[in-house]
Protein backbone atom coordinates (compact mmCIF):
# COMPACT_ATOMS: atom_id res chain seq x y z
CA UNK A 1 0.00 0.00 0.00
CA UNK A 2 2.79 2.39 0.99
CA UNK A 3 4.71 1.62 -2.23
CA UNK A 4 1.60 2.24 -4.26
CA UNK A 5 0.99 5.60 -2.59
CA UNK A 6 4.61 6.58 -3.23
CA UNK A 7 4.25 5.65 -6.92
CA UNK A 8 1.12 7.76 -7.25
CA UNK A 9 2.78 10.71 -5.53
CA UNK A 10 5.84 10.66 -7.76
CA UNK A 11 3.61 10.32 -10.82
CA UNK A 12 1.64 13.39 -9.80
CA UNK A 13 4.90 15.22 -9.13
CA UNK A 14 6.24 14.36 -12.61
CA UNK A 15 2.95 15.45 -14.17
CA UNK A 16 3.23 18.83 -12.42
CA UNK A 17 6.81 19.18 -13.70
CA UNK A 18 5.69 18.35 -17.25
CA UNK A 19 2.98 21.02 -16.93
CA UNK A 20 5.68 23.67 -16.36
CA UNK A 21 6.45 23.29 -20.06
CA UNK A 22 3.04 24.81 -20.86
CA UNK A 23 3.69 27.70 -18.48
CA UNK A 24 6.96 28.52 -20.23
CA UNK A 25 5.35 28.21 -23.66
CA UNK A 26 2.31 30.37 -22.89
CA UNK A 27 4.44 33.07 -21.24
CA UNK A 28 6.85 33.14 -24.20
CA UNK A 29 3.92 33.14 -26.62
CA UNK A 30 2.34 36.11 -24.85
CA UNK A 31 5.58 38.11 -24.65
CA UNK A 32 6.30 37.55 -28.36
CA UNK A 33 2.73 38.60 -29.23
CA UNK A 34 3.50 41.91 -27.50
CA UNK A 35 6.74 42.31 -29.49
CA UNK A 36 9.34 41.68 -26.75
CA UNK A 37 11.25 39.54 -29.21
CA UNK A 38 10.46 37.78 -32.50
CA UNK A 39 9.56 34.12 -32.58
CA UNK A 40 7.46 33.17 -35.60
CA UNK A 41 7.52 29.47 -34.57
CA UNK A 42 5.97 29.69 -31.11
CA UNK A 43 2.46 30.06 -32.58
CA UNK A 44 2.67 26.51 -33.97
CA UNK A 45 3.14 25.11 -30.47
CA UNK A 46 0.67 27.38 -28.67
CA UNK A 47 -2.10 28.50 -30.94
CA UNK A 48 -3.79 31.03 -28.71
CA UNK A 49 -2.01 33.97 -27.11
CA UNK A 50 -3.73 33.17 -23.84
CA UNK A 51 -4.32 35.29 -20.79
CA UNK A 52 -2.55 38.59 -20.35
CA UNK A 53 0.68 38.38 -18.39
CA UNK A 54 1.98 41.18 -16.18
CA UNK A 55 4.70 43.42 -17.71
CA UNK A 56 7.30 42.27 -15.15
CA UNK A 57 6.72 38.65 -16.24
CA UNK A 58 7.18 39.63 -19.88
CA UNK A 59 10.40 41.49 -19.10
CA UNK A 60 11.60 38.53 -17.07
CA UNK A 61 11.05 36.18 -20.02
CA UNK A 62 12.75 38.70 -22.32
CA UNK A 63 15.85 38.66 -20.10
CA UNK A 64 15.76 34.86 -19.90
CA UNK A 65 15.49 34.28 -23.64
CA UNK A 66 17.97 37.00 -24.66
CA UNK A 67 20.36 35.97 -21.89
CA UNK A 68 20.40 32.31 -22.97
CA UNK A 69 20.59 33.20 -26.68
CA UNK A 70 23.55 35.52 -26.12
CA UNK A 71 25.80 32.80 -24.71
CA UNK A 72 24.52 30.08 -27.03
CA UNK A 73 25.13 32.18 -30.15
CA UNK A 74 28.58 33.22 -28.91
CA UNK A 75 29.49 29.53 -28.49
CA UNK A 76 28.18 28.60 -31.95
CA UNK A 77 30.11 31.49 -33.54
CA UNK A 78 33.26 30.59 -31.62
CA UNK A 79 33.07 27.02 -32.96
CA UNK A 80 32.02 28.23 -36.44
CA UNK A 81 28.98 25.93 -36.20
CA UNK A 82 31.27 22.92 -35.93
CA UNK A 83 29.58 21.84 -32.73
CA UNK A 84 26.49 20.17 -31.34
CA UNK A 85 23.82 21.39 -28.92
CA UNK A 86 21.89 19.29 -26.41
CA UNK A 87 18.86 21.03 -24.93
CA UNK A 88 17.95 19.19 -21.71
CA UNK A 89 14.26 19.52 -20.77
CA UNK A 90 13.66 21.43 -24.00
CA UNK A 91 9.86 21.44 -23.72
CA UNK A 92 8.40 23.23 -26.74
CA UNK A 93 11.47 25.41 -27.23
CA UNK A 94 11.98 26.82 -30.75
CA UNK A 95 15.73 27.52 -30.75
CA UNK A 96 16.46 24.97 -33.52
CA UNK A 97 14.22 26.91 -35.94
CA UNK A 98 15.70 30.28 -34.95
CA UNK A 99 19.24 29.00 -35.51
CA UNK A 100 18.30 27.58 -38.91
CA UNK A 101 16.80 30.91 -39.92
CA UNK A 102 19.87 32.82 -38.72
CA UNK A 103 22.33 30.49 -40.46
CA UNK A 104 23.72 29.40 -37.14
CA UNK A 105 22.80 25.72 -37.14
CA UNK A 106 25.21 23.47 -35.29
CA UNK A 107 26.12 20.15 -36.87
CA UNK A 108 23.34 18.57 -34.83
CA UNK A 109 20.76 19.91 -32.40
CA UNK A 110 19.43 17.43 -29.82
CA UNK A 111 16.45 17.90 -27.55
CA UNK A 112 15.43 15.77 -24.57
CA UNK A 113 12.22 15.79 -22.57
CA UNK A 114 9.77 13.36 -21.03
CA UNK A 115 8.27 11.03 -23.68
CA UNK A 116 4.77 12.55 -23.37
CA UNK A 117 6.11 16.08 -23.94
CA UNK A 118 8.18 14.84 -26.89
CA UNK A 119 5.14 13.08 -28.37
CA UNK A 120 3.23 16.38 -28.34
CA UNK A 121 6.12 18.23 -29.92
CA UNK A 122 6.51 15.63 -32.68
CA UNK A 123 2.77 15.75 -33.34
CA UNK A 124 2.99 19.53 -33.90
CA UNK A 125 6.09 19.22 -36.07
CA UNK A 126 4.39 16.61 -38.27
CA UNK A 127 1.27 18.74 -38.70
CA UNK A 128 2.84 22.16 -39.29
CA UNK A 129 4.92 22.61 -42.46
CA UNK A 130 6.78 25.71 -41.12
CA UNK A 131 8.15 23.39 -38.41
CA UNK A 132 8.76 20.29 -40.51
CA UNK A 133 10.19 22.06 -43.59
CA UNK A 134 13.46 23.22 -41.97
CA UNK A 135 14.02 19.67 -40.65
CA UNK A 136 13.41 18.09 -44.06
CA UNK A 137 15.48 20.76 -45.85
CA UNK A 138 18.51 19.99 -43.72
CA UNK A 139 18.17 16.23 -44.12
CA UNK A 140 20.02 14.42 -46.89
CA UNK A 141 17.88 11.32 -47.51
CA UNK A 142 14.21 10.78 -48.28
CA UNK A 143 13.39 9.03 -45.04
CA UNK A 144 13.92 10.09 -41.49
CA UNK A 145 13.48 8.14 -38.31
CA UNK A 146 10.19 9.02 -36.73
CA UNK A 147 8.15 7.28 -34.06
CA UNK A 148 5.91 8.44 -31.22
CA UNK A 149 8.76 9.34 -28.88
CA UNK A 150 11.68 10.23 -31.13
CA UNK A 151 12.51 11.95 -34.35
CA UNK A 152 15.97 11.79 -35.85
CA UNK A 153 17.20 13.71 -38.87
CA UNK A 154 20.68 14.84 -39.95
CA UNK A 155 20.56 18.12 -38.03
CA UNK A 156 17.68 17.82 -35.55
CA UNK A 157 16.92 15.05 -33.11
CA UNK A 158 14.33 14.90 -30.35
CA UNK A 159 14.36 12.12 -27.80
CA UNK A 160 11.85 11.10 -25.14
CA UNK A 161 13.80 10.21 -21.99
CA UNK A 162 13.89 10.85 -18.27
CA UNK A 163 16.92 13.01 -17.44
CA UNK A 164 17.20 11.23 -14.09
CA UNK A 165 18.08 7.98 -15.86
CA UNK A 166 21.54 8.84 -17.19
CA UNK A 167 22.47 5.47 -18.65
CA UNK A 168 19.34 5.32 -20.84
CA UNK A 169 19.84 8.94 -21.83
CA UNK A 170 23.46 8.28 -22.79
CA UNK A 171 22.48 5.16 -24.74
CA UNK A 172 19.75 6.98 -26.69
CA UNK A 173 21.99 9.94 -27.55
CA UNK A 174 24.67 7.58 -28.85
CA UNK A 175 22.11 5.66 -30.89
CA UNK A 176 21.32 8.97 -32.61
CA UNK A 177 24.97 9.76 -33.44
CA UNK A 178 26.00 11.97 -30.58
CA UNK A 179 29.62 12.85 -31.35
CA UNK A 180 31.78 12.95 -28.24
CA UNK A 181 34.65 14.60 -30.10
CA UNK A 182 32.70 17.72 -31.10
CA UNK A 183 32.55 20.88 -28.96
CA UNK A 184 29.20 20.52 -27.22
CA UNK A 185 26.76 22.97 -25.69
CA UNK A 186 24.37 21.71 -23.01
CA UNK A 187 21.38 23.88 -22.18
CA UNK A 188 19.02 23.59 -19.22
CA UNK A 189 16.48 26.36 -18.95
CA UNK A 190 14.39 26.03 -15.80
CA UNK A 191 14.86 22.26 -15.61
CA UNK A 192 17.42 21.15 -13.01
CA UNK A 193 15.49 22.80 -10.18
CA UNK A 194 12.73 20.22 -10.65
CA UNK A 195 14.99 17.30 -9.73
CA UNK A 196 16.92 16.42 -6.59
CA UNK A 197 20.47 17.80 -6.24
CA UNK A 198 21.82 14.28 -6.64
CA UNK A 199 20.00 13.78 -9.96
CA UNK A 200 21.11 17.16 -11.34
CA UNK A 201 24.64 16.59 -10.15
CA UNK A 202 24.65 13.26 -12.04
CA UNK A 203 23.74 15.10 -15.24
CA UNK A 204 26.37 17.80 -14.71
CA UNK A 205 28.96 15.11 -14.00
CA UNK A 206 27.93 12.97 -16.97
CA UNK A 207 28.21 16.01 -19.28
CA UNK A 208 31.71 16.84 -17.99
CA UNK A 209 32.83 13.24 -18.47
CA UNK A 210 31.29 12.81 -21.90
CA UNK A 211 32.89 15.78 -23.70
CA UNK A 212 36.43 17.17 -23.61
CA UNK A 213 35.37 20.57 -24.96
CA UNK A 214 32.00 21.80 -23.79
CA UNK A 215 29.89 24.53 -22.26
CA UNK A 216 26.85 24.15 -20.02
CA UNK A 217 24.35 26.99 -19.55
CA UNK A 218 21.86 26.67 -16.72
CA UNK A 219 19.04 29.14 -16.11
CA UNK A 220 17.06 28.85 -12.92
CA UNK A 221 16.22 30.27 -9.50
CA UNK A 222 18.78 31.78 -7.13
CA UNK A 223 18.74 33.53 -3.73
CA UNK A 224 15.93 31.22 -2.69
CA UNK A 225 16.45 31.34 1.06
CA UNK A 226 15.01 34.84 1.52
CA UNK A 227 11.33 35.73 2.01
CA UNK A 228 10.67 36.34 -1.70
CA UNK A 229 12.22 32.96 -2.54
CA UNK A 230 10.05 31.23 0.07
CA UNK A 231 6.91 32.75 -1.47
CA UNK A 232 8.00 31.48 -4.92
CA UNK A 233 8.42 27.98 -3.48
CA UNK A 234 5.02 28.09 -1.74
CA UNK A 235 3.26 29.30 -4.88
CA UNK A 236 4.63 26.35 -6.85
CA UNK A 237 3.86 23.90 -4.05
CA UNK A 238 0.25 25.03 -4.14
CA UNK A 239 0.20 23.71 -7.72
CA UNK A 240 1.69 20.38 -6.56
CA UNK A 241 5.02 21.40 -8.04
CA UNK A 242 7.94 20.80 -5.76
CA UNK A 243 11.25 22.52 -6.40
CA UNK A 244 13.21 19.41 -5.43
CA UNK A 245 16.51 20.99 -6.44
CA UNK A 246 16.15 24.29 -4.62
CA UNK A 247 19.15 23.53 -2.39
CA UNK A 248 21.52 24.31 -5.29
CA UNK A 249 19.69 27.63 -5.79
CA UNK A 250 20.79 29.36 -2.60
CA UNK A 251 23.35 31.68 -4.17
CA UNK A 252 25.44 32.37 -7.26
CA UNK A 253 28.27 30.60 -5.42
CA UNK A 254 26.21 27.43 -4.91
CA UNK A 255 25.27 27.50 -8.59
CA UNK A 256 28.92 27.69 -9.68
CA UNK A 257 30.07 25.21 -7.07
CA UNK A 258 27.94 22.34 -8.42
CA UNK A 259 29.81 22.59 -11.74
CA UNK A 260 33.28 23.10 -10.33
CA UNK A 261 33.00 20.03 -8.12
CA UNK A 262 31.75 17.87 -11.00
CA UNK A 263 34.57 18.10 -13.50
CA UNK A 264 34.07 21.54 -15.07
CA UNK A 265 37.14 23.77 -15.31
CA UNK A 266 35.56 27.20 -15.19
CA UNK A 267 32.19 28.56 -14.00
CA UNK A 268 30.50 31.95 -13.88
CA UNK A 269 27.08 33.02 -12.64
CA UNK A 270 25.07 36.24 -12.75
CA UNK A 271 21.65 37.08 -11.43
CA UNK A 272 19.16 38.16 -14.07
CA UNK A 273 19.09 41.77 -12.83
CA UNK A 274 22.76 41.96 -13.82
CA UNK A 275 22.20 40.10 -17.11
CA UNK A 276 19.33 42.50 -17.91
CA UNK A 277 21.64 45.47 -17.35
CA UNK A 278 24.26 43.92 -19.67
CA UNK A 279 21.97 43.14 -22.62
CA UNK A 280 22.10 45.56 -25.58
CA UNK A 281 20.57 48.65 -23.94
CA UNK A 282 19.00 49.98 -27.12
CA UNK A 283 16.82 46.90 -27.32
CA UNK A 284 16.12 47.01 -23.58
CA UNK A 285 14.93 50.62 -24.03
CA UNK A 286 12.70 49.45 -26.89
CA UNK A 287 10.99 46.72 -24.85
CA UNK A 288 10.62 49.02 -21.84
CA UNK A 289 8.45 51.26 -24.03
CA UNK A 290 6.12 48.38 -24.94
CA UNK A 291 4.16 48.33 -21.69
CA UNK A 292 3.98 50.65 -18.74
CA UNK A 293 5.50 49.08 -15.64
CA UNK A 294 4.20 50.35 -12.37
CA UNK A 295 5.99 47.95 -10.06
CA UNK A 296 9.69 48.43 -10.80
CA UNK A 297 10.60 47.03 -7.40
CA UNK A 298 8.75 43.78 -8.16
CA UNK A 299 10.63 43.39 -11.45
CA UNK A 300 13.95 43.88 -9.66
CA UNK A 301 13.05 41.33 -7.00
CA UNK A 302 11.96 38.85 -9.64
CA UNK A 303 15.14 39.29 -11.66
CA UNK A 304 17.27 38.94 -8.53
CA UNK A 305 15.74 35.51 -7.95
CA UNK A 306 16.80 33.98 -11.26
CA UNK A 307 20.27 33.42 -12.61
CA UNK A 308 22.32 32.18 -15.52
CA UNK A 309 25.26 30.01 -14.61
CA UNK A 310 27.66 28.81 -17.29
CA UNK A 311 30.55 26.40 -17.07
CA UNK A 312 33.19 25.38 -19.56
CA UNK A 313 35.93 22.84 -20.23
CA UNK A 314 38.17 23.45 -23.14
CA UNK A 315 40.67 20.84 -24.24
CA UNK A 316 40.69 22.30 -27.76
CA UNK A 317 41.65 25.73 -26.37
CA UNK A 318 38.89 27.54 -28.20
CA UNK A 319 38.74 30.26 -25.54
CA UNK A 320 35.37 29.14 -24.15
CA UNK A 321 36.05 30.55 -20.69
CA UNK A 322 36.11 34.05 -22.19
CA UNK A 323 32.53 33.81 -23.44
CA UNK A 324 30.47 36.21 -21.34
CA UNK A 325 28.15 39.21 -21.57
C1 LIG B 1 9.85 24.91 -17.10
S2 LIG B 1 9.88 23.79 -18.43
C3 LIG B 1 11.10 24.57 -19.46
C4 LIG B 1 11.05 24.17 -20.89
C5 LIG B 1 12.10 24.86 -21.78
N6 LIG B 1 13.44 24.56 -21.31
C7 LIG B 1 11.88 26.35 -21.77
O8 LIG B 1 12.55 27.05 -21.03
O9 LIG B 1 10.99 26.80 -22.50
C10 LIG B 1 10.77 22.39 -17.77
C11 LIG B 1 10.90 21.25 -18.75
O12 LIG B 1 11.81 20.27 -18.22
C13 LIG B 1 11.27 19.00 -18.45
N14 LIG B 1 11.80 18.08 -17.44
C15 LIG B 1 11.88 18.28 -16.10
N16 LIG B 1 12.37 17.18 -15.50
C17 LIG B 1 12.63 16.28 -16.47
C18 LIG B 1 13.15 14.95 -16.47
N19 LIG B 1 13.48 14.33 -15.35
N20 LIG B 1 13.30 14.32 -17.65
C21 LIG B 1 12.95 14.94 -18.83
N22 LIG B 1 12.46 16.18 -18.88
C23 LIG B 1 12.29 16.86 -17.73
C24 LIG B 1 9.77 19.20 -18.31
O25 LIG B 1 9.01 18.17 -18.90
C26 LIG B 1 9.57 20.54 -18.99
O27 LIG B 1 9.35 20.42 -20.36
| 162 Cβ closer than 6 Å to some ligand 1 atom | yes
Q: Which residues of 230-262 are buried (b: 16+ CB within 10 A; e: fewer)?
A: eebbeebeeeebbbbbbebbbbbebbbbbbeeb
CB of 56 within 6 A of ligand 1: the answer is no
Find, among 281, 285, 253, 282, the residue nearest to 267 by Cα: 253
Q: Is the CB of 160 under 6 A from ligand 1?
A: no
Burial code (b: 16+ CB inside 10 Å, e: under 16) for 108-122 equals: bbbbbbbeebbbbbb
How far away, in angstroms, is 247 Cα from ligand 1 center?
18
Binding site membership of 224 for ligand 1 (Cβ less than 6 Å): no
* Residue from 100, 80, 88 nearest 156 by CA: 100
Q: Which residues contact 51 (CB under 8 A, 6 or more apart)?
A: 26, 30
Q: Is the CB of 59 under 6 A from ligand 1?
A: no
Q: How far is the CA of 207 from the centre of ligand 1 (A)?
A: 17
Residue 37 three-state SS: coil
Indicate whether this complex's ipTM tops 0.85.
Answer: yes
Annotated binding-site members for S-adenosyl-L-methionine: 64, 89, 162-163, 189
Assess whether the C-beta atom of 189 lies below 6 angstroms from ligand 1.
yes
Give the pLDDT of the chain (325 residues) as one tens digit per residue: 444 444 456 788 899 999 999 999 999 999 999 999 999 999 999 989 989 999 999 999 999 999 999 999 999 999 999 999 999 999 999 999 999 999 999 999 999 999 999 999 999 999 999 999 999 999 998 888 899 899 999 999 999 999 999 999 999 999 999 999 999 999 999 999 999 999 999 999 999 999 999 999 999 999 999 999 999 999 989 988 889 999 999 999 999 999 999 999 999 999 999 999 999 999 999 999 999 998 899 999 999 999 999 999 999 999 999 999 9
pTM of the model: 0.96
Q: Measured in angstroms, how far is the CA atom of residue 91 from the centroid of ligand 1?
A: 5
Q: How far apart are CA 97 and CA 82, in angstroms?
A: 18
In 3D space, the residue among 305, 303, 324, 316 whose CA is nearest the CA of residue 62 turns out to be: 303
Rounded CA gap, 127 and 41, in Å?
A: 13
Enumerate residues 6+ apart whose C-beta is below 8 A from 77.
Answer: 104
Amino acid sequence: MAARAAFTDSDTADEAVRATCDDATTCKRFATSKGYWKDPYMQYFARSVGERKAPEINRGYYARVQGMNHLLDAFIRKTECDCQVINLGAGLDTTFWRLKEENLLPRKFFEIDFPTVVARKIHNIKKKPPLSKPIIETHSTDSLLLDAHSLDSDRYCIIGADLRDISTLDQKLKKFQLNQELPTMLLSECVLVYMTPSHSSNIIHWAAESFHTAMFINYEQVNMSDRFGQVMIENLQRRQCNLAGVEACQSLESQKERFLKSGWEHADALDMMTVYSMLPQEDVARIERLEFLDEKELLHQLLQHYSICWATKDKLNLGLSQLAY
